[in-house]
Chains A and B, each alone.
Chain A
Amino acid sequence: MVDRNPWLTFLSHAVLVLGVSIVAFPLYLALVASTHTAEAIVQSPMPLLPGSHLWENYRNALLGSGKLGSTTNVVHMMWVSFVVAITITLGKIAISLLSAFAIVYFRFPFKMLCFWAIFLTLMLPVEVRILPTYKVVADLGLLNSYAGLSLPLIASATATFLFRQFFLTVPDELVEAARIDGAGPMRFFKDILVPLSRTSIAALFVIQFIYGWNQYLWPLLMTTSEDMYPVVIGIKRMLAGGEAAVDWNIVMATAILAMLPPTLVVILMQKWFVKGLVDTEK
């Protein structure tokens, strides 16, 4: 830094500690609530320090059926969330790599039309066209299926956009060299372009995994059978009984469990995540 003013450094830390505390407080309280009995939480005010019922609550949350007002347990719901998130993530990355490759490295009729058709989808979220999409999926007989849960969410161009931007920065000399060595387009794609895109792929993986894991409105409409509920829906359903009947300790334990996978992905892959986030919007 230019000037070393100890007061300013102190002030910076003070502001950040305050900010971080406020941001982290809801998470902290959820964690605390997941270590108490339901009775302790209902007392007002609830304790602000962790209690001793951690294992019990998490075991009940994970395996106790019936508590959720349904017969499925959280382990199964987390599995559904995981399958959907991974399908969306890998599907989107694969499809977008191929289409971005076609758009950047080939010239073909109606190229601009395809380009704009894809980019029109860039910002129109599924929430906006929810009812007609529901009808289409119902007509195709995909309600209550993994395909129905994930395919409509793959239909957006964010990843294509990112890969296109990246491919445009890849030096033309690489294509020339590949051609001189007699490599065809698919060989070039497989051996040069995809390995070069590793960082972008990692970044997209983080963003899309979180996007897929956290979907709510779409599965809410799509799934009527309990064994297809993702965990996010499960939590919402636990609250359906009205506040007095809710076992908040179990709800919060489930919430913590549901937050764990995406949070771990963000924290462990922080470097790529930040890069990906900032790059997607360039």
Chain B
Amino acid sequence: MEKRVLFRSAWLPWVLIAPQLAIIGVFFFWPAGQAVLQSFQMEDAFGMSREWVGLDNFRQLLTNPDYLGAFQRTALFSVLVAGIGIVVSLALAIYADRIVRFAMVYKTLLIVPYAVAPVIAGVLWVFLFSPSIGVVTHYLGRLGYQWNHLMNENQAMALIVLASVWKQISYNFLFFLAGLQSIPRALIEAASIDGAGPWRRFWNIQLPLLSPTSFFLLVINIVYAFFDTFGIIDAATQGGPGQSTSILVYKVYLDGFKALDLGGSAAQSVILMCIVVVLTVIQFRYVEKKVQY
């Protein structure tokens, strides 16, 4: 898309765009380039020597069962976060779309988690589920269910999934609600006159018309689960017990800053960048489609 009428100046556009280019140059392209470069190099932890090792870092990563395990965990984690988050928020949005009274109250309360920092979300959920003082742990115990996410790997995963879904519910809810409210009333009324009940209208009209929104949210939620959950994990489980909740982003941090394996961490960064680029392309193709109708 282009403007018909443009201003003419040889130097002004460069001046205008210079601050942005400078910042992304220094803080984006330079480090990203370094990551790519480092991923082909091996450096000792003191930064004394460096040698070119080609694809060795990648080969090591992709044959390392630890890393492949992290890959699987991340996949499982993001599918759970995206799936549960989307279903729960869709249900809430469908009901919220029906009502008039108190709609504002529900909506306001549901968007608060968006404002909560991921680390604080992690702290809040750990507080609920702490093995020693957690309220939920206590009542689960009374029901005969032992909760200890410091020992049990599945429970640790469940805890970070819960906290991540909680944090993202606001976002999903708002998009579904906006999507539902943009469906023309006439369609719903026509279906209603033809005798379709609420359930039928949901399955045959609202859900299909929401499919672009759902697909978009699926991508966004996967990106969220991949990258924005660092704080939640660091506060709730710190990747443990064992490695059971250390997803890819957490591993980049652990290997780079704690284990000081710079080449390996850079190679992991490059792999993550590729994943993001693929997801971006998928999303852009979706955006193009959406613009057309």
Contact = CB atoms under 8 A, between A and B. Distances in A.
Most B Cβ at <10 Å: residue of A122, A130, A258 = A130
A13 interface: yes
B125 A213 contact: no
B27 A123 contact: no
Interface in A248-270: 248, 251-252, 255, 258-259, 262-263, 265-267, 270
Nearest to A216: B231
A220 B63 CA distance: 31
Interface residues of A, number: 106
Contact of A129 (B8, B32, B102, B108): B32
A236 B234 contact: yes
Given A46-B133, A124-B273, A258-B120, A176 B31 contact: no
B34 interface: yes
A225 interface: no
A20 B109 contact: yes
Given A44-B132, A121-B24, A176 B5 contact: yes
Nearest to B279: A123
Contact of B7 (A44, A105, A154): A105
B48 interface: no
Nearest to B271: A128
Interface string B120-141: 1101110110101101001100
Given A104-B3, A168-B1, A266 B28 contact: no
Interface residues of B, number: 102
B64 interface: no
Contacts of B34: 132, 135-136
A92 to B, nearest CB: 9
Given A13-B99, A132-B34, A216 B133 contact: no
A168 B227 CA distance: 31
A98 B119 contact: no
A188 B9 CA distance: 14
B44 interface: no
Contacts of A98: 16-17, 19-20
Contacts, number: 296
Contact of A136 (B27, B99, B220): B27
Nearest to B275: A128
Contacts of B65: none
A65 to B, nearest CB: 21
B214 interface: no
Given A15-B92, A136-B27, A27 B17 contact: no
A48 to B, nearest CB: 7
Nearest to A10: B99
A181 interface: no
B118 interface: yes
Interface in B1-34: 1, 3-10, 12-14, 16-17, 19-21, 23-24, 26-32, 34
B5 A172 contact: yes
Contact of A131 (B35, B216, B234): B35
B19 A30 contact: no
A172 B3 contact: yes
B241 interface: no
Nearest to A230: B117
Q: Which DSSP category, helix, strand, loop or mixed, fits chain A's interface?
A: helix
Nearest to A24: B109
B69 interface: no
A16 B290 CA distance: 30
Contacts of B266: 131-132
B276 interface: yes
A147 to B, nearest CB: 11
Nearest to A186: B12
Interface stretch (A56-64, A69-77, A106-114, A195-203): A106-114
B82 interface: no
B221 interface: no
B159 interface: no
A55 to B, nearest CB: 21
Nearest to B19: A95
A52 interface: no
Contacts of A186: 12
Interface stretch (B54-62, B70-78, B250-258): B250-258
A158 interface: no
Contacts of A30: 124, 127
Contacts of B290: 282
B12 A26 contact: no
A28 to B, nearest CB: 10
A239 interface: yes
A49 interface: no
B147 interface: no
A157 B98 CA distance: 36
A41 B134 CA distance: 9
A251 to B, nearest CB: 7
Contacts of B262: 131
B143 interface: no
8 contacts: A8-B98, A16-B99, A20-B110, A123-B276, A128-B272, A258-B120, A259-B120, A274-B111
Given A176-B5, A236-B123, 4 more contacts: A20-B106, A99-B17, A102-B17, A236-B235
| A-B interface, 4 closest residue pairs, ranked by CB to CB distance from nearest | A214-B117, A132-B31, A102-B16, A106-B13
